Amino acid sequence: MIITLTHLKSIPRAGGAHGYCNKVTRKFFERHGMDWNHFRKHGLPEEDFVKTGDAMALKLVEFANGE
């Protein structure tokens, strides 16, 4: 499955908010060598997120698969 910016912006958060913060997300992408601009335009395979082992990334994949 391709994880998209729409998934990133619509994932539910505590307190009724939705979406992950752009600033934190960009740092995540940089830390894991992922291409933020490509992701914004085209999305990335869920495997790219899973292999990071990051809890928020795994939650994003779970959310996207449930959509």
Q: What is the pLDDT at residue 16?
A: 86
The pLDDT assigned to 57 comes to: 96
Output the six-digit token pair for 36. 């933020």
- At 48 the pLDDT is 98
List, in sequence order, every residue forming a beta bridge with 18; answer none if it has no partner.
Answer: 12
Instruction: Between 33 and 67, name the one with better pLDDT.
Output: 33
pLDDT in tens, 27-48: 999 999 999 999 999 999 999 9
Tokens of 40: 């914004």
The pLDDT of residue 41: 97
Q: Could you tell me the residue ranges of all domains in the chain?
A: 2-66
Whether pTM exceeds 0.95? no
